[in-house]
């Protein structure tokens, strides 16, 4: 039996908790908001007697938390759902959550017969009850939006050791013509400032010192009383917090108040990820980004004037419908003008139901042209980033050690301006702040030599 349910209507607290503790494995795709949502799901399920595990092999529940932003993100998940079959026991329950679940709804159940649950981003509260139902052989789709849902009472189960992802806003009220997010995450709504501050205080009690505030257009945050500037000031002042970051802002929502807060609150890091998407005003208009090339540049100039040493990264789409050579050249020239520290670059992917798919078919940019432009863009962005990084060699910076690097020997750390720095140090230093000199760069990442092992805050020894 397949049932479509409203997640709020279910009373998870009435659900029976089976014993012994069933295990749950969640695999996460896509953005940091999904990482944060997976932490919420783990937290919710743990509170209902489930034990989180980090491999799918033999788990009682496997959830795949999905992304729908580009077609290849969905193709990967479809492939992965097939692979996960081999880890299933006869009674394992498989659920699909997140943006792809929201977008496709019951169609997921038709495409993958071993899936029992399809739950959108506003339905996670009901997971324990839905899993109980699935155990009785039922199948569920829960994809209603719930504009009140911020999971305030759910304590996230965090796996990241040194920083915490904190959703402060869900959904999006912009309607960029390429973007599926307003469809998959619904209208914009913000948490109350005191609730966010309370969560940040809890994070500090758990020993973390860096928070990343999350929202689709995070700087349009408003709880009716407070704006994003208030939020930055309140979070930045929480005792024990040393670094505040946020992602992703929209260029149109950088009020003078927000820029002043960034400049004045010492814990707010000197880095902004500022999605540009295109450097051409005519293209930005077709994308419905609501700013021109000149306005984007003005925004950058205001921020740079207020925040010395500001690092800027961005998102760029190549091959949006109708992209002419001239428009693409405008994107390259804007990259040269701004000199981004780094960029995420994407080939346009048409998403069913978005306005871009209703543009004239003759506007479609041929694959070969898209690939050629994409390669040129990558070379340009990487070249600039390399030049920027070479100019930094010899600088002394404070880094937060995040984890053991992929090579297994060095530790991976991050500067306040978001540079990745590999440091030779003992794994016991994870979570510590070190002062390092940037001694080498691959062009993209740095190697750093500690100039002192002492966390900056440690009192200096008395002399004399």
- Please say which residue, 38 or 277, places its beta carbon nearer to ligand 5AD: 277
Q: How many residues bind ligand SF4 (CB under 6 A)?
A: 10
* Cα 174 from Cα 156, distance rounded (Å): 28
* Cα 231 from Cα 238, distance rounded (Å): 11
Stretch of 80-88, 136-144, 176-184, 364-372 contacting ligand SF4, by CB under 6 A: 176-184
Among 117, 317, 381, 423, binds ligand 5AD (CB under 6 A): 317
- Please say which residue, 126 or 272, places its beta carbon nearer to ligand SF4: 272
Task: Name the helix (H) or strand (E) containing 393.
Answer: none
Stretch of 124-132, 167-175, 374-382, 448-456 contacting ligand SF4, by CB under 6 A: 167-175
Question: From the CB of 278, what's the least distance to ligand SF4, in Å?
Answer: 12
8 Å CB contact between 85 and 114? yes
In this structure, what are the phi and psi dihedrals at residue 409, rounded to the nearest 5 degrees? -105, -55
- Please say which residue, 6 or 357, places its beta carbon nearer to ligand 5AD: 357
Stretch of 196-204, 298-306, 348-356, 370-378 contacting ligand 5AD, by CB under 6 A: 348-356
Site string for ligand 5AD, 269-288 (x = CB under 6 A): ------x-x-----------
Site string for ligand SF4, 192-231 (x = CB under 6 A): ------------------------xx--------------
CA 303 to chain centre: 22
CA 86 to chain centre: 29
Among 348, 374, 433, 446, binds ligand 5AD (CB under 6 A): 348
Of 196, 289, 282, the C-alpha closest to 244 is 196
Asked if 176 interacts with ligand SF4 (CB under 6 A), we say yes
Stretch of 123-131, 132-140, 347-355, 443-451 contacting ligand 5AD, by CB under 6 A: 347-355
Asked if 179 interacts with ligand 5AD (CB under 6 A), we say yes
- Work out what residue 315 binds among ligand 5AD, ligand SF4, none; the CB cut-off runs from 5 to 8 Å by kind: ligand 5AD
Three-state SS sequence of 138-174: CEEEECCCCCCCCCCCCCCCCCCCCEEEEECEECCCC
449 half-sphere exposure, CB direction, 13 A CA radius: 6
Stretch of 82-90, 178-186, 392-400, 449-457 contacting ligand SF4, by CB under 6 A: 178-186
Question: From the CB of 147, what's the least distance to ligand SF4, in Å?
Answer: 16
Distances (CA, A) of 457 to 238, 240, 408, 433, 434: 16, 11, 28, 9, 10
Tokens 């053991």 correspond to 404
8 Å CB contact between 143 and 159? no
* DSSP letter string, 79-148: HHHHHHGGG--TT-EEEEEEHHHHHHTTHHHHH-TTEEEEE-TT-GGGHHHHHHHHHTT-EEEE----TT
* DSSP letter string, 290-353: S--HHHHHHHHHHHHHHSTT-EEEEEEEES-TT--HHHHHHHHHHHHHHT-SEEEEEE----TT
DSSP-assigned beta bridge partners for residue 245: 212
User: For residues 248-307, which are near ligand SF4 according to CB under 6 A?
Assistant: 250
Asked if 178 interacts with ligand 5AD (CB under 6 A), we say yes
In this structure, what are the phi and psi dihedrals at residue 463, rounded to the nearest 5 degrees? -115, 140
Asked if 399 interacts with ligand SF4 (CB under 6 A), we say no
Nearest residue (beta carbon) to ligand 5AD: 315
Asked if 397 interacts with ligand 5AD (CB under 6 A), we say no
- Please say which residue, 97 or 314, places its beta carbon nearer to ligand 5AD: 314
List of residues contacting ligand SF4 (CB under 6 A): 172, 174-176, 179, 181-182, 216-217, 250
List of residues contacting ligand 5AD (CB under 6 A): 69-70, 178-179, 275, 277, 315, 317, 346, 348-349, 351
């Amino acid at each position: 039996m397949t049932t479509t349910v409203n997640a709020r209507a279910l009373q998870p607290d009435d659900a029976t908790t089976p014993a012994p503790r069933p295990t749950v494995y969640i695999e996460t795709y896509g953005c940091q908001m999904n990482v944060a949502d997976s932490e919420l799901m783990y937290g919710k399920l743990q509170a209902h007697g489930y034990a989180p595990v980090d491999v799918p092999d033999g788990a009682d529940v496997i959830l795949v938390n999905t992304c729908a932003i580009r077609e290849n993100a969905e193709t990967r998940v479809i492939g992965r759902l097939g692979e996960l079959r081999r880890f299933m026991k006869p009674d394992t329950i498989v659920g699909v959550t997140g943006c792809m679940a929201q977008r496709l709804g019951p169609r997921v159940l038709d495409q993958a017969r071993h899936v029992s649950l399809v739950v959108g981003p506003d339905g996670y509260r009901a997971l324990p009850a839905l899993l109980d139902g699935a155990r009785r052989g039922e199948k569920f789709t829960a994809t209603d939006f719930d504009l009140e849902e911020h999971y305030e009472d759910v304590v996230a189960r965090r796996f990241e050791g040194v920083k915490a992802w904190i959703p402060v806003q869900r959904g999006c009220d912009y309607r960029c013509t390429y973007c599926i997010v307003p469809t998959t995450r619904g209208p914009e709504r913000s948490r109350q400032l005191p609730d966010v501050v309370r969560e940040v205080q809890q994070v500090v009690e758990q020993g973390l010192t860096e928070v990343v505030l999350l929202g689709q257009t995070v700087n349009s945050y408003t709880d009716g009383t407070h704006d994003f500037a208030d939020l930055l000031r309140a979070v930045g002042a929480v005792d024990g917090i040393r670094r505040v970051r946020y992602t992703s802002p929209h260029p149109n929502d950088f009020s003078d108040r927000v820029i002043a807060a960034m400049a004045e609150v010492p814990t707010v890091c000197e880095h902004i990820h500022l999605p540009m998407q295109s450097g051409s005003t005519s293209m930005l208009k077709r994308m419905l980004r609501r700013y021109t090339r000149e306005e984007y540049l003005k925004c950058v100039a205001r921020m740079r004037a207020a925040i010395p040493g500001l690092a800027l990264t961005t998102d760029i789409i190549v091959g949006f419908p109708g992209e002419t050579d001239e428009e693409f050249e405008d994107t390259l020239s804007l990259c040269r003008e701004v000199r981004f520290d780094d960029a995420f670059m994407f080939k346009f992917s048409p998403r069913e139901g978005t306005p871009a798919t209703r543009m004239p078919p003759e506007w479609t940019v041929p694959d070969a042209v898209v690939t050629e432009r994409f390669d040129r863009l990558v070379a340009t962005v990487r070249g600039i980033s390399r030049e920027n990084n070479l100019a930094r060699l010899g600088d002394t910076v404070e880094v937060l050690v995040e984890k053991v690097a992929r090579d297994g020997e060095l530790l991976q750390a991050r500067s306040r301006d978001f540079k990745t720095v590999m440091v030779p140090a003992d794994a016991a230093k994870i979570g510590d702040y070190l002062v390092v000199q940037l001694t080498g760069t691959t062009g993209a990442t740095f190697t750093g030599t500690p100039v002192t092992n002492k966390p900056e805050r440690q009192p200096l020894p008395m002399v004399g």
